[in-house]
Amino acid sequence: MSDLTSLTATRAVALLARREICATDLVEAAIARIEAVDPVINALPIRCFERARQRAGEVDRLKPDDEASLLRGLPVAVKDYNDLAGVRTTYGSPIFADNVAEVSDATVARLEANGANPIAKSNVPEWAGGNTFNPVFGATRNPWNTAMSAGGSSGGSAAALASGMVWLATGNDLGGSLRTPAGFNSIVGLRPGPGLVPRGRRLQAFDTLWVEGPMGRCVEDVALMLDAGRGHDPADPFSFDAGPVNYRDQVLRDDAPARVAFSPDLGVVPMARDIAEICTTAAGRCADLGVDVTDDVPDFTGALDGFQTLRAVLLGTMMSPLLAEHRGAISPDIIGNIERGLAVTPQEVFAAERGRWQLYHRMIDFFETHDFLICPAASIAPFPVEQRYVEEIDGVPCKTYIDWFAITFALTMTSCPVISLPCGFTAQGLPVGLQIVGRPRDEASLLSFARQLEAVLGVAGKLPVEPQGQRLA
């Protein structure tokens, strides 16, 4: 069973296709691993094992000619912000502690239609945040050091992947909710451009900041999951059919870019010195691929304030009715964000939208001379799990509770696809990640370059990791 949980998703699906293993084998291996490891990590608090067993049995009974799905019954984790039919969706909130989804949302339904077999729901912060803890299920711990945070909000998904509980997991990303935990757990997470992966009805339909994206242990696995999850859904007006492109095939291309740019801080965020040094060294490895590295980065002036405004407007739009009815059951941090949205002035919205518009065009100009932009995936290493959020970075105080992941939400404002890639470890053995930004609508080239750099950096082979810092229960 441990041999099966150590497989990449791509390898597991290949074995399923050749019928050297069956879907039930993988479900039972995942259940055994979850029961052994999750008492320490707390990444997958909502289990749907019998549902997964039933679905695996159905897959195993198919004739070979009927097995056209991409994932062929591969067990996956579904983030607890996504609806999975017949299973609880709590959003980490006591208001919805007993809420059971009637149907899977557009993101999950697309994956299920392509052969994904959800086996558990992954833990999240209450509604939003960069540290995965909530009053319903408690905190998720980082498997590299169980005293540390797994990041958020896709912290449960990232920790489950890193510790070998599942092969793929859903994530979503507003300001870094997929990329930060990917970096904290040494796994790979892709924030696609808006619309490539369809979103569910719960989200504000015309928002372009929140996207759904795949998470895996290596770049090729993420490409496989993107193939299984992309597409048009009528519930999401921005979703679209990307055509015949096959990301799994594209990721295997070996055509290296000519020029990339690297910045340790994008010129707008504080950065811990050890993180900057590790990421600078990792970006320098691009030279091993024959790639020229410059420091000619776009101007991100105004991106941080603009994001804070637009994020507040989104939370106010989505959650102000809930605040009116359930204020006492919502965390103070989220209440503050909702009220900030309700207080935003038209002038602030105008400035934020103008700033986003101008930044996008600066990015387009940048891509005339460069193929990719690279920077750290977080300003700090994983911090103690009991700490609600980071209060200062290298001696610089944080103004808000999300300032410490400003390096990710600055890139949200570009609308470009971004991948978080493991690149090394601190002196304390804690994971560090890089972000790579690609041209709009060119996830294929981004994945291809990320896979080439992944091979040079050599971190992916360290997964899955046995939980460190505490003995298993």
- The residues that are catalytic are 79, 153, 177
Q: Identify the H or E element spanning 368.
A: none
Q: What SS3 state is found at 292?
A: strand
| Burial class (CB within 10 angstroms; exposed 0-12, middle 13-18, buried 19+) of 287 | exposed
Q: What angle do CA 377, 10, 244 make, to 5 degrees?
A: 85
CA nearest 451: which of 258, 284, 217? 217
- 3-state secondary structure at position 300: coil
| Alpha carbon of residue 42 to chain centroid | 18
Q: In degrees rounded to 5, what are phi and psi of residue 374?
A: -125, 140
Q: Which residue has the tokens 């990041």?
A: 151
Burial of 160 (0-12, 13-18, 19+ CB in 10 A): buried
Quote the CA–CA distance of 256 and 403 in Å, as a whole number: 34
CB 56 within 8 A of CB 67: no
Residue bearing tokens 């949980």: 5
Helix (H) or strand (E) holding 361: helix 346-366
Enumerate residues 6+ apart whose C-beta is below 8 A from 426.
Answer: 274, 275, 278, 381, 432
Q: How far apart are CA 321 and CA 94, in angstroms?
A: 16
Residue 237 structure tokens: 């007006």
At 386, list the tokens. 């009991």
Least Cα distance to 377 among 409, 348, 401 occurs for 409
Q: In angstroms, rounded to a whole number, what is the distance separating the alpha carbons of residues 283 and 375?
A: 8
Are residues 156 and 122 in contact, defined by beta-carbon separation less than 8 angstroms?
Answer: yes
